[in-house]
Structure 1
Amino acid sequence: MAASYPNVAGPQAAGKSLATIALVALLALPAGPHTRAAQRTGPIAVDAASTEVDYRNNAIVLRDVTISQGDIRVEATEARAAGGLNFENSRWTFSGNVRIRAEGGKLTSDQAIVSFANNAISRATVTGKPAHFEQARGTTADIARGRAETIIYETAAGTVSLLDSAWLSDGRNEIRGQRLVYNIREQRVQARARPNAAPGEQGRVRIIIQPGAAPQGTPTTEPVQPSPPAESSSPKP
């Protein structure tokens, strides 16, 4: 079954329509147990196969690199940053087989820009054709998977925003749109308009619900078998 909402011109109608779609999206992707927030404090560990420092331009290049803080881990073929090995307020560009792990989830892409603020990882913007996201949903065997041309992970909020040709699935049902926001900790998804989108340009959301699967936590029941006919007590001729 597929559902979509029409373009709307007024901001009040747009908000109502998006709220309705958000509710439908929550029903399409049932929540599992909550996931704890990522640990973003503590020392930042850097491990690299080689390092190249450009003192003239105050830049650094790390190859076959892993940068981690708490339970957030970023790996890539190469990482570049202006300002040297600084994490106070800086932006690092990772390229080549980028993998980001945090909060029981994983992002994979061709390239990522990771922002540091006050010596902590604050945001990761990954891009690819497409970029991918997945997260084990609590203690269940289900895995939430998503893909989009751009995925933004906000570490403080614990959200993943999938932008442009966005797709998200809980392993059974699917939702597609131009902007999907997935809350990793609450395991909820919302369909939202693109930032600065003009009225009528919010795009459409498509939800696909696969039939024939019992909802989570619903016990299966055996069909009731008919009782055998009672034997007659009258004597046989």
Structure 2
Amino acid sequence: MISIAIANQKGGVGKTTTAINLATALAATGHRTLLIDLDPQGNASTGLGVQVRDRKRSSYDLLMGDCTIDDAVIRSLVPGLDIIPATQDLSGAEIELIEVEQRTHRLLNALQSAGTHRWNVCLIDCPPSLGLLTVNAMVAVQSILVPLQCEFFALEGLSQLLQTFERIRARFNEDLSILGVALTMYDRRNRLTEQVAEDVRACLGDLVFKTVIPRNVRLSEAPSHGVPALIYDMRCAGSEAYMALARELIEKLPKAEVAA
């Protein structure tokens, strides 16, 4: 199973929107997909129509060792896409995990002990921070995907994330790699947007996906209906961009592992 953390410590860059719609696109192309919601806000869970009352077990229980992946996983409305939802209990996990043995490897241990052959791909929606939840995600995965909003301050956040990435790789996960950077909230009418995109591509080269995700009202509306944008309006510019991004992502994945 290929595992990918969708991470950026800056909020509002499109992490959850990217996680939901990439997971949906992967499932739609025949890849059995698991989405783990590791954000205390639980927006990925809400965006896939999982009501709070239905989150009997969550990623918090998984991290604390109170349940297995099989106990926590829920089938979403999207065929081929399962989710482990998040609850507000995750808000206290950062403090609780400090006293727990192997606190940086809790998610990895849970994934290794599960029958992950059920899925081809696992995506993890990380919180907007570089705390223990995000560290757990980075330790548990093979690669990270970074959604990057096309604005000046996003570049500063990217440098901090890359520093954390290097520390995690040096101390805990030497096989960790950057799958790519996805430019989000792209507005062709804004010169600054184009300048940021050019700077990121000049700095990171082929690590930056060719597909850019535009600002699109349908992407914002879809979560309120509890469905991914790809289902809410599959022909909108945002949905078409995420399908293109999914195709790029699939091309970067090891074919043997994806097909396993």
In proportion to residue count, which structure has more helix? 2
Larger Rg: 1
Higher RCO, 1 vs 2 (CA within 8 Å, ≥6 residues apart): 2
In proportion to residue count, which structure has more strand? 1
